[in-house]
Amino acid sequence: MDKRFLAILAVVVIALGGIFFFGKSNDKSNTGSGNGKPSNHTEGTSAKNVNLTVFGDFECPVCGSYFPIEQQLLAKFQGQITFTFHNFPLVSIHPNAFAASRAAEAASLQGQFFKMHDLLYQNQNTWGTSSDPTPYFQQYATQLGLNLTQFKSDFQSTAVNDTINADVALGNTKNVTGTPTYFLNGQKLDNTNINSATKFEAVIQSALDKAK
């Protein structure tokens, strides 16, 4: 067989092997042990037991548009409602979403989940369009005063991946198919009824009135 042909064939095999290797390496970014438990990220207090829960994707533009509305709700109903966030990265359309959830969960292990949550949404247009968002996440960790060595380690950990995957599994059991998906006291909300601060406030107020 022609030596030049064999040499070309060897190059092709090596190239294909490299593609497979790097593809598999990237796949591992969201794999875990399968033993995780859903996250428990809640802020606010409510004497009336009114809880607003969202399954969100940090890279999702619609989630980003709802973020300031959520902030208004928490300010307006301070002391009256609790707010819970679960990760639901839509990795098929948002390639950086899972990594962003890993950044938030890594920050959570140092008690700063919601501060990282806020920075991720506030800077969504920056890291969300990056081919490598990791430096941005590390920058935010530094900005929050986190132990960067621990953050980097936790960011890559199986335990963090397990938590995110458990959140996704929880969302699947609740028929979550897109983001953001909101639940008020366990009842799924129709986003067309809460697509403005005024509408959302009315829905929350109705729940509070019924809880009296």
**DSSP one-letter code for 87:** E
Between CA 33 and CA 26 the distance in angstroms is 16
Q: What is the mean pLDDT of residues 104-130?
A: 98
User: Considering the domain boundaries, does residue 27 fall inside one?
Assistant: no
Q: Is residue 26 part of a domain?
A: no
State the residue range of the domain holding 50. Answer: 42-210
Q: Residue 78 belongs to a domain with what CATH number? A: 3.40.30.10
Q: 34 in a domain, yes or no? A: no
User: What average pLDDT does the segment 106-133 reach?
Assistant: 98
Q: Is residue 14 part of a domain?
A: no
pLDDT score for 116: 99
| Average predicted confidence (pLDDT) for the chain | 88
Q: What is the pLDDT of residues 16-53, one digit of tens each?
A: 333 222 222 233 467 777 788 999 999 999 988 999 99
Least confident of 15-29, 104-118, 130-144: 15-29
List the end-to-end C-alpha distance of the chain, in Å, as a whole number: 86
pLDDT band at 61 (very low <50, low <70, confident <90, very high): very high
Give the pLDDT of residue 102. Answer: 98
pLDDT beyond 80 at 110: yes
Taking each continuous run of H as one helix and of E as one strand, the counts in the chain are 9, 5
Rounded distance, CA 35 to CA 159, Å?
A: 9
pLDDT greater than 50 at residue 127:
yes
pTM of the model: 0.85
E-strand stretches of 44-186: 50-56, 81-87, 181-184
- Which token pair is 146? 């986190």
Q: Considering the domain boundaries, does residue 144 fall inside one?
A: yes
Stretch 124-146: mean pLDDT, rounded? 98
Say which residues have a Cβ less than 8 Å from residue 120's Cβ, sequence separation at least 6: 58, 100, 103, 104, 127, 140
